[in-house]
Structure 1
Amino acid sequence: MVQPPTAWGPHPEPLAVDSAPLPEYGTGSLADLLPTLAAGMGVPGMTAAIPELTPADRNCVFLIDGLGWEQLKAHPDEAPFLTSLLAASRGGTGRPLTTGYPATTATSLASVGTGLPPGAHGLPGYTVRNPATGELMNQLRWQPWTEPGAWQPYPTVFELADRAGVHAAQVSSPAFANTPLTKVALSGGTFHGRLSGEDRMDLAAEQLAAADRSLVYTYYAEVDGAGHRFGVDSDTWRGQLMYVDRLVQRLAEQLPPRSALYVTADHGMVDVPFDEEHRIDFDEDWELRAGVALLGGEGRARHVYA
């Protein structure tokens, strides 16, 4: 029997410290999703930390970059299929997961793939200080290059599943086939590169049906790209949401027997006005610069090295 797809969207970055949800490590964070699915397939060493998830022989995780829970709830007209998954009265079982901290792509993807929080897997931000060189290292683009295993030495959930006889596969853009981030966060089993979203959905469904036990991951980046370039709620962003909603439905309609589809994201997104009132310029304030050797992280979550 095919289980209904489930929408598990991370909260966006919080707007106020006193209302910020803490990461629910061990009970309901992004890092707990794959281990819970793998535990249900009998992979040794995995813990089912999210008890609401019913075990399935075939599991597919579709990660939509940048689409948080609040954004989805605010745009039901653009995403009717995804929205239907949120309503228990219509068969949906969606509820929010929390991201780790900070909620940025490299950190979150590593948590998804390894099942570990940021402090354990070694990718704690967008840019971080390399203790060996003192330089800032961009963990999304992996520049300057350094040995990936030095940052993330643990096996991924896909690797552990593959060793346990589960068919593991990733279906994503060909551009990500050999990147260091893919190596440390999502390696294990086979990687399949496809350019179009439709081709990814079709191949993900094929890979899901390729064995009695399957763990398949697929990914779409352009919702996040449109939000960064044009803002959440822009026509371009709404168009991307409409498109990805159709992709999810396309994949859901092809699910083989004894399978489940989980739709999630790596982080949410909020628009920040680009004006002086909403900006704090480190370079223009000597009091902020005093005693600071290096400024890392990113605008949403700064790393200040004394």
Structure 2
Amino acid sequence: MEQAVTILKQISGFLWGWPALILIAGTGIYLTLILRFLPIRQLGFGFKQMFGPQTGVGTIGAGAALATSLSATIGTGNIVGVATAIHSGGPGALVWMWLIALVGMATKYAEAVLAVQYREKDAAGQYVGGPMYYIQNGLGRNWRWMAIAFAIFGMLAGFGIGNSVQANSVAHGLQDSFGLPAWITGVTLAVLVGLVVLGGMKRIATVATFIVPFMALTYLLAGLVVLVDHAEALPAALALCFESAFTGTAAAGGFAGALVKEAIRFGIARGIFSNEAGLGSAPIAHASANTDHPARQGSIAMLGTFIDTIIVCSIT
């Protein structure tokens, strides 16, 4: 077991190392510049589209697609991810999470636009899409191998960062707080998730639309209560975050030695893990959205990154 853990840590260190982070962050910066900061300029337009009337064709509602996407991102990454980022990279990691989220909005926008542009209808007449579709249909048949590779690795990631991490955190939390055996939590989650997933995209969207707003608002309200109770400490805490982000100044009590590069590394890594911008999972949901133009759904999709990191992670 120890050997397996060591191997997994080595793989994780490579996948979440500097080369991958630079590629993902660099792509976000490139898209932000090419789009002339469109996601930031059109943030209000995105919220208007989310709450506005639904037009066009699709399998699920545009807002339901966003809820489905958020159901995968609002969770462990917003709570444990933020805590580990601050513990490993110092308070400045939070600032770098904000910065990667701002450029990540452009990545999420582009992903959704491509997903809708190159989506297809399956045998049941439902719209399906995602990176595997727009790689093949957009780049051509010569890139089919990459589409297949994404589908395979995406499926494996679903078992890893998509399920195992979340279930493990829930099981440990319930076991530590209430003494509930981990296997009971695991079986219960497996059954509940199975009942939803086996119902297809429509059932996933329906459940997500019901649960996600309640889950997010409950967490935000609980967090705000804590923040209001400690309002006098907020100015100093924010100042410490910005100071640590660019000077490497460490916080007292456990953050000694946190360098700027570590704040950048862990901030970017946890930010990407939290909002999944560039990982390719969100466009699979947005490809099924009821919309009349790819850019319209893109403006809704980018809100996922804003809500997930700028709002929820900040509360944490």
Fold-level match, TM-score > 0.5?
no
After TM superposition, the score normalised by the length of structure 2 is 0.25
